[in-house]
Structure formats: structure tokens, C-alpha cells
Amino acid sequence: MKLLVTGGAGYVGSVCAARLLEAGHQVVVLDDLSTGHADAVPEGCRLVTGDVAERAGEVLAEGFDGVLHFAAKSLVAESMRDPARYWHGNVLTSVRLLDAMREHGVTRIVFSSTAAVYGQPESVPITEEAPTRPTNPYGATKLAIDHAITSYATAYGLAATSLRYFNVAGAHDGLGERHTVETHLIPIVLEAARGLREQVHIAGDDWPTPDGTCVRDYIHVRDLAEAHVLALEKSLPGNHRIYNLGNGTGFSVRQVIDACRDVTGRRIPAEVAERRLGDPATLVASSERAQQELGWYPQRREIEEIVRDAWEFVRDDRG
Ligand SMILES: NC(=O)c1ccc[n+]([C@@H]2O[C@H](COP(=O)([O-])OP(=O)(O)OC[C@H]3O[C@@H](n4cnc5c(N)ncnc54)[C@H](O)[C@@H]3O)[C@@H](O)[C@H]2O)c1
Ligand SMILES: O=c1ccn([C@@H]2O[C@H](COP(=O)(O)OP(=O)(O)O[C@H]3O[C@H](CO)[C@H](O)[C@H](O)[C@H]3O)[C@@H](O)[C@H]2O)c(=O)[nH]1
């Protein structure tokens, strides 16, 4: 297939673009490089530098079989301070993309949704039937896009899939996480391991969890890429399918820090700090639907393996 990958210069998009090439697809990346890096675009992909909202129509006019839509603003705290940036950058941009797809007869889409659409869960593991009550504008904009995709799929025959990622981590084949503003736990802990931060701040140790620190479901970015290939191949016209993607196993903040100490052999100072506003205590995915319908099984489930790959990526000072 000839595929457009929006956000393919970013963390998840670049790893997925590489996997799509490997699967024999032809890939064009559209990215404005706002948080991505031109050198992350895998060799063999053509990079078009620009905003999806402005350039998607002109690019799709070339003729494409499908779109994988990763491009987004995705900082929770920033979305609380500046929601307009998220309603414009995520929702309006995505609606423009959907319209451009309609105009140019592109019928397949795989969209990067998020666990943030669920907000505080009533129970874990979280299934796709769980109530969607996002607690921040980032999650709300992703949910709005999911709704837009459902109605476009039903009315205009799109073959659509939303993949709701839990905590993406790890690296693959020289592609990994290198955000200028880093909020994610594993890269932050590895910065401390490299001496780039004095210590890790543990966001609260009085949560209702076994060791008092928050529990999350870390999913290896390469396993995530595999799900995109399957979703693309198995999508059906007129259908919008939604899948949660996680390991199904939770690790606490302390367990992650310990894994980083084991893998790096470094001391990594950590101190308990305030809780982070809006954090749920525990987020763990049920990925049963993805397993049954896509035949997707995460292969890299050990936290040590996920951390080892992330460490290998940042150790060479690429971060
Ligand atoms: N990383 C995670 O843990 C996680 C979890 C859940 C969902 N997601 C979603 O996955 C997707 C990818 O996340 P990531 O961590 O790789 O982020 P990222 O910031 O590394 O990648 C996003 C890419 O999109 C580009 N971009 C942003 N807005 C654009 C626009 N309007 N036009 C063109 N390019 C634009 C950026 O330059 C960047 O290269 C996002 O949609 C995010 O919301 C990520
Ligand atoms: O310096 C830090 C950074 C994080 N944490 C903790 O580590 C856990 C993981 O935090 P991340 O920021 O890595 O990830 P989140 O679980 O907050 O975020 C993820 O889940 C969100 C939904 O809640 C969104 O989907 C978001 O895109 C996705 O990365 C949280 O308990 C957080 O409080 C710390 O203790 N110290």
C-alpha cells in the first residue's frame, strides 16, 4: 500500500514508519517537525515538511491507500494551560485530514488515540467499554477525534481503527524517545542515570497501590508498531474499530526506577515529591479485544527489556 504517515518524524510515528517499510509498504511522512526530528524519518520514506492542517490535501492528491495519523500535541499539563492549542492542533487538524481523505478517495485510517480518554478508571484492567471521561483537554481532544472518525466511517465508508495506547516506552533500531520537553517516566529516569538530572521526583507515594506509587502499563513501541500493521490490514470499510493497547501488566513508579537501576548499573537518586495533578493511581489495559480481533500479542513484556532498549538508545547521547 502507499501510505501517508503524519507525525512520522516523532517517537511512535518513526518506529511505525520503519515497520511499515519492512512490511513492504511505500511510506510518505508529513511532519511539521514541531516536536519531531527530520533524522528520525527512516531511510526509504519521503519526508514532506509541513502542517497536516495545511498540507494534507495537496499531499493526498497524489493518491494514497491509507493514512496513519500520529501527528498531535500530547502534553497533558500544556493542554490544561493552553487548551486552544489542543482543540486547534488536534481536533481541527484531524477533521481537515479526514476531509482531505474524503476528497481524494483515501479510505483507510489508523489513528493514535490514548488511555487518557478514560480518565479515572472505575476498575482495571480497562476495556474499550469503560466510560470515557477524560480529565484533561488532551484526552478530550483525542476522544472528540475518535467520535469524528466513527461518524465519518459510518457515513462515508472509511475503514478506520483507533488504537488507544497506554504508556509507550522502549526504542527500536536507533529510533526512540527524544522530546525536548520530556514528561514520561522512563526517559526521565534514564536522564538521571546519565547525570543529566540530579534526581527523579516520584509523584507521590501515598496512592492506593501495593508500594504507594502509581501503577502504569508500559507497552514496547515495537509491539505497538506491530498492532498498526495488523490494524491496517484488517480494517473494514464502514467500520470504526477501537482497541486498547497495553501489556496487561502494571508496574509501579518504584518498580520502574529499580528496573532502570538494574539495567544501567547506576545509582539513580530518587525522592518522593507531590502527587501530579490529575494522575490516576492505576492504569492497566485489557488488550483482549486486540488479541482476539487483530491477533496481536505483545512480545516484549518485561519491564527490564523495555528499559534496556530505551537505555541502549539514549546511552550514546542521542537524547
Ligand atoms: N508516547 C506515548 O506514550 C503516547 C501515549 C498515548 C498516545 N500517544 C499518541 O501517539 C502519537 C505520537 O506520540 P509521540 O509520543 O510519538 O509524540 P511526538 O511528539 O514524538 O510525535 C508527534 C509528531 O507529530 C508532529 N506534529 C505535531 N503536530 C503536527 C501537525 N499539525 N502537522 C504535522 N506534524 C505535526 C511532531 O513534529 C512530531 O514529529 C500522538 O498522537 C500521541 O497523542 C502517545
Ligand atoms: O518525573 C516523573 C514523571 C512521571 N512520574 C509518574 O510516572 C507515571 C507515568 O508517568 P508518564 O508521564 O510517563 O505517563 P502518564 O501515565 O502520565 O501518561 C500516559 O497516560 C496518559 C493518560 O493518563 C496519557 O495517555 C499520556 O499520553 C501517556 O503518556 C505517573 O504515575 C507519573 O506520576 C513520576 O513519578 N515522576
Q: How far is the CA of 268 from the centre of ligand 2 (A)?
A: 18
* Mutation pick for ligand 1 pocket among 4, 5, 6, 11 (CB with most ligand atoms within 8 Å): 11
Residue 277 binned pLDDT confidence (cut-offs 50, 70, 90): confident
Pocket test for ligand 1, best of 5, 35, 92 (most atoms within 8 A of CB): 35
Please state the rounded mean pLDDT for residues 16-24. Answer: 98
What is the number of the ligand 1 atom nearest to the C-alpha of 34? 37
**Ligand 1: residue whose CA is nearest its atom 26:** 71
**Helix segments in 127-178, DSSP class H:** 137-156
Interval 26-60: pLDDT, tens: 999 999 999 999 999 999 999 999 999 999 999 99
Q: What percent of the chain has pLDDT over 70?
A: 99
pLDDT at 74: 97
**pTM for the model:** 0.97
- Is the ipTM higher than 0.90? The answer is yes
The three-class DSSP label of residue 170 is coil
Q: Can you tell me whether residue 253 is helix, strand or coil?
A: helix
Instruction: Choose the residue to mutate in 15, 19, 31 for probing ligand 1, maximizing ligand atoms within 8 Å of C-beta.
Output: 31
Residue 319 confidence (pLDDT): 44
What is d(CA 153, CA 147) in angstroms, rounded to the nearest whole number? 10
For residue 243, indicate whether it is catalytic.
Answer: no
Q: Is the CB of 7 under 6 A from ligand 1?
A: yes
Place of cell 469524528: 148
For the chain, where do the domains classified as CATH 3.40.50.720 start and end? 2-168+220-245
Mean pLDDT score, 57-72? 98
Confidence at residue 164, expressed as pLDDT on a 0 to 100 scale: 98
Distance CA 210, CA 259 (A): 17
Instruction: Write out the H or E segment, with its range, that includes residue 29.
Output: strand 26-31
pLDDT digits (tens, 9 = 90+) for 139-155: 999 999 999 999 999 99
Ligand lying closest to the C-alpha of residue 250:
2
Tell me the three cell numbers of residue 201.
521526583
Average pLDDT, integer, range 105-125: 97
296 and 261 in contact (C-beta within 8 Å)? Answer: no
Contacts with 15 (C-beta within 8 Å, 6 or more apart), sequence order: 171, 172, 173, 175, 176, 221, 222, 224, 225
CATH number for region 2-168+220-245: 3.40.50.720
H or E segment and range at residue 314: helix 303-315
Output the pLDDT for position 317: 63
Q: Is 10 in the pocket of ligand 1 (CB under 6 A)?
A: yes
Q: 170's torsion region: left (phi>0), alpha (psi -120 to 50) or beta?
A: left
CA of 177 to the centre of ligand 2 (A): 14
pLDDT, residue 278, reads: 83
Q: Is a pLDDT exceeding 80 seen at residue 318?
A: no
> Is residue 234 pLDDT above 80, yes or no?
yes
The 8-class DSSP code of residue 275 comes to P
Catalytic residue among 11, 86, 138, 165: 138
Superfamily of domain 170-217+248-285+300-314: UDP-galactose 4-epimerase, domain 1 (3.90.25.10)
Ligand 2 geometric centre to CA of 133 (Å): 17
Q: Locate the ligand 1 atom nearest the alpha carbon of residue 168 and give its number.
A: 3
Nearest to 245 by CA among 257, 228, 262, 258: 228
Look up residue 250 and give its three cell numbers.
502494571
Among 224, 225, 260, 232, smallest CA distance to 66 is for: 232
Q: 267: CA distance to ligand 1 center in Å?
A: 31
Query: What is the C-alpha separation between 149 and 158, in angstroms, rounded?
Result: 8
Looking at the chain, the domain(s) classified CATH 3.90.25.10 span 170-217+248-285+300-314
pLDDT over 90 (residue 102): yes
Ligand nearest to the CA of 9: 1
Would you say the C-alpha torsion 229, 231, 234, 238 has a positive or negative sign?
A: negative
Kind of pairing between the strands at 46-49 and 200-203: unpaired
Q: Tens of pLDDT along 177-204?
A: 999 999 999 999 999 999 999 999 999 9
Contact between 138 and 88 under an 8 Å Cβ cutoff? The reply is no
Distance 170 CA to ligand 1 centre (A): 16
Distance, in Å, from the CA atom of 286 to the CA atom of 303, rounded to the nearest integer, reads 18
- 211 C-alpha vs ligand 1 centroid, how far in Å? 32
Q: Which atom of ligand 2 is least distant from the CA of 189?
A: 1
Q: What is the biggest distance separating any 2 CA atoms in the chain, rounded to whole angstroms?
A: 56
